[in-house]
Amino acid sequence: MEDALTASAAAPVLREGTAADERAVGELCESIYPGTDHVPWYWTRFVRDPGTQPWVIEIGGVITALAVLDVREGAGWVHSARVAPAFRGGGLFTRLLRRHTEESRRRALSHLRFATHPGNEAMHRVAEREGFRLHATYRYVSSCAPTGEGDAAAPGDVRQLEPADLDALEAFLRSTGGWTSGNDLCCAAWTWRDVTPDLLRSMLARGTAYGFEAGRGLEGAALTCQDLEDDYRWFFLSWIGGTERSIGFLGRRLRREVATAKPDGDEESPLCGMVFDDPAALAGLAQAGFHFDPDEDMDVLELAL
């Protein structure tokens, strides 16, 4: 990347990202998250997808900051924000956030959200100054596939939900204690989506929703994102709710699903996810062998438009 002192002499230029920026975006991301950033892999998709709009800031012809606006279900998400280390504290993210806010208002969206680590004080200050408020906190969880039959066991009351379960599933989700304070969001890798009937229909059709039944109805439910990309299967826990007992059973079932879904040659298919910061959910997942990484937790911040 061009020397920061030389580049900083030029005025920042904010513009829409293009496919031609792929290499420069890769260089920026490599300077922040060497070898692990998803943005370079998805940059072309971000540019071409009508639901996403990437913006970049150039200084002296060098891309020094970027963020992507994701529009779904009448709301906006700002994600994949990156600022070159040498230019942090100079207001570049604020400028990107304001541009996304303007675009969201132009599109008559209901709200705009973004996520950041609870300890990122600088981002929280920017958010508060721009009118964003804390919507909910999400915890990062992960687990490896089960190592033995006892570990893999799950009761018969846990099953893969079907399209016919839509009404019962929606009613159960809305009955959970945290629904109105953040548990109404479903995380798909790096963005969150509102849980809507259409989203639930899609998950039920793909067989990625699970339920624990007790008595005459659901006592727990889990929503997941599962896909195969470039021969790599990813399995992401997007939402879980219920009692500590039911979540423990669901967690063990998901671990078993990962064990049977791993592709040939993959010794260990990881199961990870972002779940609402709910005591019952966290206790149940811990009981099922999941681990927590506070360094990966996220606060979701929201601006009503």
pLDDT in tens, 50-68: 999 999 999 999 999 999 9
Token pair, residue 280, equals 């019952």
Per-residue pLDDT for 124 more than 70? yes
| The pLDDT of residue 147 | 54
**Terminal alpha carbon distance of the chain:** 37
Would the CATH topology of 4-109 be identical to that of 139-298? yes
Q: What is the DSSP letter of 245?
A: H
Burial of residue 246 (CB within 10 Å: 0-12, 13-18, 19+) is buried
* Residue 203 main-chain phi, psi, to 5 deg: -65, -40
Torsion angle in degrees (nearest 10) through CA of 75, 80, 84, 87: 20
Count Cβ atoms below 10 Å from residue 304 Cβ, excluding itself: 9
| The pLDDT of residue 291 | 94
Nearest to 237 by CA among 198, 208, 261: 208
* β-pair type (62-72, 232-242): unpaired
Count Cβ atoms below 10 Å from residue 295 Cβ, excluding itself: 8
Q: 139-298 in CATH: which number?
A: 3.40.630.30
Q: What is the DSSP letter of 12?
A: P
CA angle 134, 14, 111 (to 5 degrees): 30
- Stretch 275-286: mean pLDDT: 95
| The pLDDT of residue 190 | 67
Per-residue pLDDT for 102 more than 60? yes
* Domain parsing of the chain, residue ranges: 4-109, 139-298
Compute the mean pLDDT over every residue in the chain, rounded to the nearest whole number: 88
Query: Was domain 4-109 assigned CATH 3.40.50.620?
Result: no
